[in-house]
Structure 1
Amino acid sequence: MESRVESSETLRNKCAACYRQFNRIEHLVEHMRTSYHSSHEPMCGICKKHCRSFESLREHLIGPLPKQECRNIFITRGCKICLAILESPYALRVHQDRCQLSGGNAGLLGRFANLGIRDNTEGGSTRGTQVVALACKMVGGGSDGSLDLCAKVCLTDEYDNIIFQSYVKPLLPVTNYRYETTGIRPEYLRDAMPLRQVQKKIQDFLCNGEPMWKIRPRGGKARILVGHGLDHDLDSLQFEYPQVMIRDTAKYPPLMKTSKLSNSLKYLTQAYLGYEIQTGIQDPYEDCVATMKLYMRMRSQVHKVEAYPLASDPQNRNNFAAWRQNELERMSPDQMLEISRSDYYCWCLDS
């Protein structure tokens, strides 16, 4: 009888999302208050455990110390790219043909485009484009060549079409062309488009006729901007863009390391798309294609539909308020999970 009571108490103090166990119910409440568990977190398809990132989920399934029951199923029916669990080994083989993407001729096409400026920012074919990817390649400035200067920029749509691509003439003298990785020579920048002109062209295209101060996340004309390390790229282009319209694969919690540091774009592409990039001379078009594919993969996830999915939504701000402590302690772990909301914007909400 005593063991049944202890077992029941342990179950009551066990998080319904990450399965952590607590000695006291108030400790579980505090955990739920700060963990922001939600249906938008990566989840094990076998035991339904919530993980903060796909890296955490990968460790749970096939890491150095995996959950053995989940690992045994995953190695026969699990996709190592998207970490989904399929119904049978045959279903897995069919799934993997679709799941493992290809960069195609991204690098080759990008280098052919070097022959001249590609500018479709005012073309009719891009008028309906709502999501664009941006990438820059940097050369070195300053006395030691360590100052990053944008020397080439590319903008693509969700179908990997080039909207705009050009060499960029930096405002400061170039002291290191970093040819081994950029493939950029001095003659490419001699008659290149000035930085200010590039900046205005990209900014006008992103804003799409909407004043910067008026841009809002939904219902406006401004475009969503996708990239990796976009703060650095936008800084090199010397303009700002509203954070609500930015989707950065370097800062998206499900794609970050378990230590909450950023993964490289090269790693993310290999791990979550199944192909290699940046193997020689690096082209910004190749980076645009990779970041857009990552964004589309994250956006296409099917999660539970909620009227107010973010913890910051006014309707959710009192869900775990201190004045509700007694009420929360009477809830079951499942009831607490039901009212818990995410602290980051899931890209599935863009669909």
Structure 2
Amino acid sequence: MYRNKCAACYRQFNRMEHLVEHMRTSFHSGHEPSCGICGKHCRSFESLREHLIGPLPKQECRDVFAYQGCRFCLKVFDSPNARRVHQERCQLSGLDAGLIARFANLGLRDNLSMGRGQQVVALACKMVGGGSDGSLDLCARVCIIDEQENIIFHSYVKPPIPVTNYRYETTGIRPEYLRDAMPTRVVLRKIQDFLCNGEPMWKIRPRAGGKARILVGHGLDHDLESLQIEYRPEMLRDTAKYPPLMKTSKLSNSLKYLTQAYLGYDIQTGIQDPYEDCVATMRLYMRMRSQAHRIEDYPLASDPQNRNNFVSWRQSDLERMTPEQMLEISRSDYYCWCLDSYI
């Protein structure tokens, strides 16, 4: 008979020592997505979505969620009317075609400047093909926006090697757009200086009072590599690698899917624009950052003050704890973006 039940994910174990081992490795915390009906913790929003509206949902939770739950942020409300009022705000609208068409021929916009305090910006690139078969990704267009979705930098980029495939069907880029474009090395210097904001690279930390900017994007490693930009990993907020936004298999979701599922509109139809991608990643970031989680002095398992999250506790002490007490001392193994609200 199972008697030892995890207070977070509700898994049951027939021996207390097995529950303790589960808690050592699960890193349950208040930063995990959780069901607003039964309280179950999930490792990702995809897992929570399956719990509520998947092929085999929990029946009781599904029935309540169908009337009182928001299918975008997955919150549960007191009444169907409260849900309707919320969902009108939660479902965001996409950029209209006229706006996208205007930005498609925008040309250079350079408002990069040093500023006081830490800021958040989103970056997106569009790639053309290089190499003999055109499969090598070369950045040919880059866009950066601020938190209010204003463009602060936009430019076509002249790749360092010849372009062999302009991928016009998705990029909309023609040879004449790149003929007099800004060279990659110039774009690199401009963006890197802007992100560091006067701070030496070695000094950059995600701390209060820092000057360096937080950079949001989707597949940022690929974008930064194509621009030959080096930046501190602690300052990156990548929607392709953020655990709550990943698949239950721990693989990345596409930006197109994330935008449709969590913001409620479609992107990347026809010719794609980096401004549209910037807006989508910034909106996803802001939605994740705005989550109301319990404030903790040391919210990460890696913080020394957490005694390495169970490792230093004696087995006998842990086995005398209740599941709720073990959950109380458990901490997250990833940096929740809600913590940016306190920087």
Q: For this structure pair, what is the TM-score category when the shorter chain's length is used for normalisation? A: over 0.9
Which of 223, 229, 232 pairs up with 1:239? 229
Q: Which residue of the other structure, out of 107, 129, 144, is the alignment partner of 1:140?
A: 129
| CA distance in 2: counterparts of 1:320 and 1:213, whole angstroms | 32
CA deviations over 1:262-294 (Å, ceiling 9, x no partner): 000000000000010001100100000000000
The residue that corresponds to 1:335 in the other structure is 325
Q: Which runs of 5+ in 1 are unaligned?
A: 1-5
1:269-321 deviation digits (Å, cap 9, x = unpaired): 00000010001100100000000000000000000110000000001134412
Q: Give the AA of the match of 1:164.
A: F
Instruction: Please point out which of 263, 266, 281 is paired with 2:271.
Output: 281
Q: Residue deviations 1:52-74, cap 9 Å, x none?
A: 00000000001111000000100
* Structure-1 residue corresponding to 2:80: 89
How far apart are residue 116 of structure 1 and its match?
A: 2.1
Aligned position for 2:192: 203
Q: Deviations over 1:137-161 (max 9, x none)?
A: 0000000000000000000001110
**1:17 maps to what in 2?**
8
Quote the Cα distance in structure 2 between the aligned partners of 1:110 and 1:201: 25
Displacement of 1:127 in angstroms is 5.6
Q: Which residue of 1 aligns with 2:93?
A: 102
The number of aligned residues is: 339
Which residue identity lines up with residue 297 of structure 2 in the other structure? A
Which residues of 2 match residues 141-220 of structure 1 at below 5 A?
Answer: 141-218=130-207, 219-220=209-210
Q: Which residue of 2 aligns with 1:294?
A: 284
TM-score by length of 1: 0.94
Of residues 317, 335, 338, the one that matches 1:345 is: 335
In the alignment, the residues of structure 2 paired with residue 169 and residue 42 of structure 1 have an alpha-carbon distance, to the nearest angstrom, of: 42
Q: TM (normalized to structure 2)? A: 0.96
- SS of 1:27's partner is helix
Once the two structures are TM-superposed, the CA of residue 37 in structure 1 deviates from its matched residue by: 0.1
Match of 1:63 among 54, 71, 84: 54
Deviation (angstroms), 1:108: 4.1
Q: Is the 8 A contact 1:151 1:167 kept in 2?
A: yes
User: Cα RMSD over matched residues?
Assistant: 1.3
Alpha-carbon separation, structure 2, partners of 1:327 and 1:256: 35
Q: Is the 8 A contact 1:103 1:289 kept in 2?
A: no
Q: CA offset at residue 344 of structure 1?
A: 0.2
Structure 1 vs Structure 2: percent identity of aligned residues?
Answer: 81
Contact 1:139 / 1:148 at 8 angstroms: preserved in 2? Answer: yes
CA distance in 2 between counterparts of 1:279 and 1:318 reads: 46
1:115 deviation in Å?
3.3
Question: Residue in 2 aligned with 1:313?
Answer: 303
Distance 2:190 2:280 in 1: 23
Instruction: State the one-letter code of the partner of 1:118.
Output: R
Alignment of 1:49 with 2:28, yes or no, is no
Would you say the 8 A contact 2:309–2:330 is kept in 1? Answer: yes
Structure 2 residue corresponding to 1:37, chosen from 7, 28, 44? 28
